[in-house]
Structures are given as structure tokens and as C-alpha cells.
Amino acid sequence: MKRSSGILMPISSLPSPHGIGTFGKAAYAFADFLHAAGQTYWQVLPLGPTGYGDSPYQSFSTFAGNPYFIDLDLLVRDKLLTKKEVAACDADGDPARVDYGRLYTTRFALLEQAKARGWERERDKISAFEKENADWLADYALFMALKRKHKMRPWTEWPEEIRLRRPDALERSRTELREDIELFTYIQFLFFRQWRALKEYLEKLGIRVIGDLPIYVAPDSADVWAEPQWFRLDEDNLPTAVAGVPPDYFSEDGQFWGNPIYDYDALRKDGYGWWIRRVAGAAKLFDVIRIDHFRAFASYWSVPAGETTAKNGKWIKGPGLDLVGRLTDWFCDVSFIAEDLGVLSPDVNELLKASGLPGMKVLQFAFDAKTESDYLPHRYDAHCVCYTGTHDNTTLAAWFDEAKPADVRKAIRYLGLNEREGFREGVLRGGMGSTATLFVAQMQDWLGLGGDARMNTPGKPDGNWQWRMLPGAATKRLAKEILEMTKLYGRYEEEEDDAR
């Protein structure tokens, strides 16, 4: 990885029409903006179908794509929908927020109309897609069809014969739910076709995509339902322990995630085949994979089933380099970033060093007036990624209002911040000028947005994942400002045409 920079901008936050960001015109416009700004990377959040709480970290599948990201105008172009059909489902709303409730009630009806026109017309291409994704697609499509039948209730509440995947019950369901299975298969076909086209455009511009791989899968997912043998479950396929983190910077009670814990003994005996398939799926989507909550490979917080907070958990030794080394060796052409945030024990630091992966440094965590933080730029090893903040942080503009006054004073002294330049701009300069090989800023920070543009507040059950950039916000002037700073701090590689 060369010295470079990028912007964190979720797909859902793009100013696409029809209520949420998509792989359509606004995505291509943002790619052009990144190129004009001299950026090498576009970091996105997980692209999977969102479940509980609309969180991309609680997806119905670790392999599937989010139906909402399929661009409706591209479907009109492909004669799968009409402008009238799309317009009939549109409604005036807040362009700065995603209304997930409305999307849920309107989007699938449109996708069903598209499927009615396209299923037979593109049958050969769909069949090839099914073969390419045979390791997960059939189970996922059946899982979603069953969720529809059972009014979207979690699979743990389905009838026992289906919940425990008895073969005769599965076969009856495949026959009974054929239409819905085809629908969810076709939706994935559309998702991956549109994403591939966007990725090809990004590649022509020299922009690489960083994508998140959540450490855990959602309890209500096709992953757990279809392959329960890789998780610590009881005889009824219910978790015996779940994941989270102990009390930390974000929450006094810790974070109770509720994801099932892996059965690493079973995974190890299988050669970690499930993990290899999972990373292979992510590698189809992304150029660089950010492994979320990397520390869980060293040791993970296990909370007994039945608890309501993460307080009463305990640390358990993880698979360590046995798994991490296997993945990095297997995917030698894929770049990885280790999300190594939080209070780290020696085993995590040792694993990160042994893996050779770059870790993360977050500037918002750097200026604790009571400690000498490892996130202060002068303490960086160049082999790391510096962020202004992640999707779990507030914006820089809000941080200056919300942080402890002593921490703000330390940031001002350390970075030489002043009102003429702007405090937020000074932090961006500090990150861009750091020794970190890669610098990534949230788009909200380049736009100077306040706390209402925060993407996620850990521990807050609702109101997250909704921020959207307003149309016209990514201006040519802003791109020029970012480009000048990128060049100034040696993160821009001159193109041939520029050099001449």
C-alpha cells in the first residue's frame, strides 16, 4: 500500500433519488468527485441486506447484497421498470435521512415487477450466476422466502421442522415458495451486476474500494440457519453464548451485540473452510477488506445466553494467527486492514504484529488530556491507517462541541489549531500530514457537518444509519481543496496526463 488517502462514504448516504443511496448516477458522480480530489480509496460500510435496527453489521447474510442499493433508474434503463412505476412509489421525504420503514413497504414491490419482466428474459445469465454462487445463494433465497412466509419473524421462531432443516420440510418449502425463491435470487443477480459495473468504473479511475467484514454474523441470518455447525448452539440451535464488548469508551454497560459465538474447534477441524468462503465472498466486492473487531481473533468477549447487557461476560482465547495467517496466506492478492480499536491487551498487539496487517489510528481518540495516547500522530508507525473518525464516531465539528474541554485544548496545542484555518480543517490537515501510509476521513468531516450527520451511536437502539449527503454538496471547489492538501502531503500520485 502506497502513501495515499481516501474518504469514508456509505453507499446508503449517497444523494441518489428514491430514498437511499444506490449504485446509480450519484455513485458514479461520487467516483468522479474522488478522482478529482486525488483520492485513491473509497471506503464503504458492509453491503449486505440489513436486518434488525437497519444496521449493516446485522445482516441477513454475510454473502448477499442489500436490495435497497439496486438503482431503480438503471432498472428503467434496462426496461425492467417504467418511470411511472418508479414515480408511483416515490414520496416527498427528508433528503438528509433514510426512511427505512418506507423503503421496506415499497421497494420489494418494484423489484417483483422487475423480476416479472427479467426472469425469463435473462434466464441463461441468471443460471450462470446461480452456479457461480452455489455455496450460499440457494440457502439465502430459501431463507428469505421463509422469512416472508413467517412474516419476517426470526428463524428461531419458525416451526421446528424448518428451524432444524429437516430435509423433507426443506423440499416442500422449495416447491411451495418457488416464486419468492426466484425473486430473492433475481434481486442478488441485479445487485451484483450493478455493483460490478460500478467497480469497473472505479478501477478505470484508479480508485480502490475498502469494505468492512464484520467479525460476527447476525443471529437471524441465513449463515447461522444454514450452517449451525460452525457456531456454539444448543440442541435447538439456540446460542449458548453471544458476543459483545465489555464497558468501554462508548457504553458503561458495554455493547451487547447478541451475535452467536463461533465454534472454533469445529472450524479448525474443517480447515477454516467457512471463513475462507466468507473472505472469498468479500474479496468479490472489495479491493481492501477491513476486518471489523480484529481483537476477537486474539480474545473475544463471551456473554452467557440470557443476559441483557454485556457486563457479565468473560474473555476467551481466540484462534489467533492459526486463522489470521491462513486467511492472509490464502488471499495473498487481497489487502487487509485490522480494526484494532479499544483497550488492547498484549495478545492483540502481538497478533497484529505477527499478522503484518496495518492497524487503525483514530484522531478523535488521540487527545485524552490524562494519557499519552498511541493515536497521537508522532507515535505512529507508518504501517497504519489514520482516520479522523469511524462510522461509530461523531463528526469532527461535533467533537469540538462534545469533547471534554481539556481534550479540546490538547488538540488545539498539539495540532496548532486556530480559528482562521478552522479547527476541523486543522485536524484534517493533521491526519493528512501524519506518517500513516493511508489517511481516511469521513465525508461528513470534509463537508463540515455537525452531530446530526453522525452515522451511528453504539448502544443506541434506533435512529442510526440514516445520514445522507445532500445533492450538490460534493462540489468542484471542495474537490480542489482536498486535492491541494492531498498533493501537499505526498498522498497523490501524478497521472501520466498530469505529469505531461
d(CA 445, CA 391): 11
Which of the residues 54, 292, 407, 425 is marked catalytic?
A: 292
Domain of 73?
4-499
Alpha helix locations (H) across 133-177?
137-149, 160-163, 167-176
Q: How does DSSP assign 379-425, residue by residue? A: G--SSEEEES--TTS--HHHHHHHS-HHHHHHHHHHHT--TTT-HHH
Report whether pLDDT(496) > 60: no
Q: What is the CATH number of the domain that holds 252?
A: 3.20.20.80
Q: Do residues 243 and 260 lie in contact, with contact meaning Cβ atoms separated by under 8 Å?
A: yes
Q: What is the pLDDT of residue 234?
A: 94
Mean pLDDT of 9-32: 97
pLDDT of residue 495: 66
- The C-alpha cell at 300 is 473475544
pLDDT, tens digit, 9 for 90 and up, residues 148-189: 999 999 999 999 999 999 999 999 999 999 999 999 999 999
Catalytic residue among 340, 392, 407, 425: 392
Q: What is the pLDDT of residues 300-320, one digit of tens each?
A: 999 999 888 898 899 999 999
Q: Look at 52-61, 84-93, 287-296, 476-485 and tell me which has the smallest mean pLDDT.
A: 84-93
Q: Are strands 41-44 and 335-338 parallel, antiparallel or unpaired?
A: unpaired
Q: What's the Cα-to-Cα distance from 236 to each of 144, 145, 182, 230, 257, rounded to whole Å?
A: 20, 22, 29, 14, 21
pLDDT at 430 over 50: yes
The full DSSP string for 303-355 is EETT-SSSTT-EEEE--THHHHHHHHHHTTTSEEEE---SS--HHHHHHHHHH
| φ/ψ of residue 307, rounded to 5 | -70, 155
Active-site residue, 339 included: yes
Output the average pLDDT for the chain.
Answer: 95
What is the structure's pLDDT at 93?
84
Active site residue 481: no
Nine-digit cell at 476?
468542484
Please state the rounded mean pLDDT for residues 366-381.
Answer: 94
Kindly state the average pLDDT of the residues 207-222.
Answer: 97
Q: What percent of the chain has pLDDT over 70?
A: 98
- Select the more confidently predicted residue: 89 or 114: 114
What's the pLDDT at 52?
Answer: 78
Q: Structural domain tally of the chain?
A: 1
pLDDT of residue 255: 84
Instruction: Please tell me whether residue 14 adopts helix, strand or coil conformation.
Output: coil
Task: Quick: pLDDT tens for 381-399.
Answer: 999 999 999 999 999 999 9
Tell me whether residue 392 is one of the annotated catalytic residues: yes
A 10 A CB-CB count for 297 gives 24
120 exposure class (CB count in 10 Å sphere: 0-12, 13-18, 19+) = exposed
> Does residue 497 surpass a pLDDT of 70?
no
Candidate list 122, 220, 339, 425, residue with the active-site label: 339
Dist. CA 335–CA 306, nearest whole Å: 38
Say if residue 250's pLDDT is above 80: no
Matching residue, cell 458514479: 28
| Joined grid coordinates for residue 260 | 452467536
Per-residue pLDDT of 253-301, as tens digits, reads: 888 889 999 999 999 999 999 999 999 999 999 999 999 999 999 999 9
Cell output for 76: 428503467
Q: Distance between CA 326 and CA 275 in Å, rounded?
A: 10
pLDDT at 157: 96
Gap between the Cα atoms of 63 and 208, Å rounded? 20
Q: What is the pLDDT of residue 249?
A: 66
Cα dist. 8→4, 267, 442 in Å?
14, 33, 5
pLDDT surpasses 90 at 203: yes
Q: What is this structure's pTM?
A: 0.96
Residues 415-420 have a mean pLDDT of: 96
Residue-level pLDDT at 493: 84
